[in-house]
Amino acid sequence: MPIDTKELDMKLEEILKKIFKNEKIDLEGTIEDIPEWDSFTHIQLIDAIEEKFKIEIEFNDAITMTSIPTIKKKIMNYL
């Protein structure tokens, strides 16, 4: 189902805040500069995205989703 970028941003921000337990999320952030983003939270993040957007992320995409802009782009490709 198509989704507009505003709705995507909103839903994603909600997930990120919950997973990273941080109210201040930089939507341009990457795995390098978000301290809470580690191997464990990455799994939780992909899981939460799959559930929220009702998509199944391919493993090749999961290993390249290392920044929030990339995550947004990838989600759009699935919707």
Partner 1 sequence: MKESISLVKHQQISKKFKIDYNNIRELFYEKVKDRADEIFLISPGENTAEFTYTELKSLIKNTYSIFRRLELKNKDRINLIFHNSPEFLILYFSALCFGLTVVPINPDIAPEEMRYIISDSKSKVIFYSNTLEFKIKNIKNLDSVKLEKITSINDQEFSLKNEDNFEENEISINDTAVIIYTSGTTGNPKGVILSHLNLLSDSKSISEWFHFNTKTRTLCILPLYHNNGQITTLLAPLYQGGSTVIVQGKVSLLSFWDLVNRYDVTWTSVMASILSILLSISKERKDQTLKAILCGGQILTRTIQKQFEDRFEVPIFEGYGLTETTSFSCINCFPAGKRRIGSIGKALPINEMSILDKNSKNVDENNIGEICIRGYNVTVGYLGLKEKNENSFRNGWFHSGDFGRKDSDGFFYFQGREDFLIIKGGENIYPAELENVLYQHPDIIECAVIGIPHKLLGEDICAFVKCKEESQISETELKEFCKNNIGNFKLPQKIIIINSLNDLDDIPKGPTKKILYRELKKYYLENYQK
* Residue 4 burial by Cβ neighbours in a 10 Å radius (0-12, 13-18, 19+): exposed
- Does residue 2 interact with partner 1 by CB under 8 A? no
Q: 2 vs 39, which CB is nearer to partner 1?
A: 39
Backbone φ/ψ region at 25: left (φ over 0), alpha (ψ -120 to 50), beta: beta
**Contact string 32-61 vs partner 1 (x = CB under 8 A):** xx-xxxxxx-xx--xx-----------xxx
Q: Return residues touching partner 1 (CB under 8 A).
A: 30-33, 35-40, 42-43, 46-47, 59-66
